[in-house]
């Protein structure tokens, strides 16, 4: 089966989309190495291996896996990828660490999220990766020309966005989902603190990013998602973020 690589180029750097409209992870590629933002569900690891080979790179060049947060659809593939890469370092914010280790407690309406996650961990034989790096608000990770960590909690306590200032691109995780038929903040049952999600969304929108890649989206068009974010936050009668 032929492999279609969905890639955007930023000079000598590129970003490859893995997964699909349901949930995406992103592989960052440059001469210095390979970095993964989120690891998708369990199937992404196999796709990633094929992409790495097609790019003429080696699995061991993947040295870092950055998780925007601990939900299963973002962390699910981490353990397997960590193994075949020979020990890529997994990064996550300290307050989502327990989530990845499956020690999270769901309360109220978010119990439904917990049920879904439990089913997913069972179906996918989830294993927690070894966590070796802590994301700290404001720090710049020295990958892909520099990735600034932006702690934007609410969806989960440790939810972070990653900002590539060199390439003008924001990886916004689950702050919002962006589809032609619906642009929306995560539904209540998926977020720990919906009020805080709105604050985080507004903080992101106020920075007026020109290029955004969420984790749940239709087309790989960062300018389109930046525009939709703006509309979500500022259109009267929209999501009511302001």
Contacting positions for Zn ion (CB under 5 A): 71, 73, 174
Calpha distance 85→49 (Å, rounded): 9
| 135 CB-near residues (< 8 Å, 6+ apart) | 66, 91, 92, 93, 94, 149, 151, 158, 160
Taking the least distance from each CB to Zn ion, the nearer of 21 and 87 is: 21
Minimum Å gap between C-beta 215 and Zn ion is 5
Minimum Å gap between C-beta 157 and Zn ion is 12
Taking the least distance from each CB to Zn ion, the nearer of 35 and 172 is: 172
Calpha distance 195→37 (Å, rounded): 26
Taking the least distance from each CB to Zn ion, the nearer of 37 and 52 is: 37
Minimum Å gap between C-beta 160 and Zn ion is 12
Taking the least distance from each CB to Zn ion, the nearer of 47 and 174 is: 174
Tokens of 104: 């999270």
Scan for tokens 């992870």, then name that residue: 25
Cβ atoms of 68 and 74 within 8 Å: the answer is yes
Minimum Å gap between C-beta 2 and Zn ion is 28
Taking the least distance from each CB to Zn ion, the nearer of 19 and 222 is: 19
| 79 CB-near residues (< 8 Å, 6+ apart) | 126, 127, 128, 129, 130
Taking the least distance from each CB to Zn ion, the nearer of 71 and 198 is: 71
Query: Integer distance in angstroms from the first to the last C-alpha of the chain?
Result: 47
Minimum Å gap between C-beta 69 and Zn ion is 6
The residues that bridge with 178 in the sheet, in sequence order, are 183, 217
Alpha carbon distances (Å) from 137 to 67, 113, 190: 14, 26, 23
Minimum Å gap between C-beta 9 and Zn ion is 26
Tokens of 233: 């936050």
């Amino acid at each position: 089966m032929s492999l279609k690589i969905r890639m955007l180029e930023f000079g000598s750097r590129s970003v490859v989309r893995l997964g699909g409209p349901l949930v995406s992870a992103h592989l960052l590629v440059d001469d210095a190495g390979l970095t993964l933002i989120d690891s998708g569900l369990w199937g992404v690891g196999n796709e990633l291996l094929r992409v790495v080979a097609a790019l003429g790179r080696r699995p061991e060049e993947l040295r870092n896996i950055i998780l925007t947060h601990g939900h299963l659809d973002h962390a699910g593939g981490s353990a397997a990828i960590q193994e075949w890469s020979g020990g890529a370092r997994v990064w996550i914010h300290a307050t989502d660490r327990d989530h990845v280790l499956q020690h999270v407690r769901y309360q109220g309406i978010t119990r439904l999220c917990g049920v879904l996650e439990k089913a997913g961990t069972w179906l996918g034989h989830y294993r927690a990766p070894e966590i070796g790096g802590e994301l700290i608000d404001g720090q710049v990770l020295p990958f892909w020309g520099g990735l600034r960590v932006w702690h934007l909690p609410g969806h989960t306590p440790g939810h972070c966005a990653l900002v590539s200032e060199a390439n003008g691109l924001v990886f916004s995780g689950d702050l919002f989902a962006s589809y032609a038929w619906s642009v929306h903040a995560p539904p209540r049952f998926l977020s720990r603190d919906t009020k805080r999600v709105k604050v985080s969304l507004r903080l992101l929108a106020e920075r007026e990013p020109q290029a955004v890649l969420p984790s749940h989206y239709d087309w790989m068009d960062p300018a389109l998602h930046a525009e939709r974010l703006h509309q979500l936050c500022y259109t009267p009668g929209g999501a009511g973020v302001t």
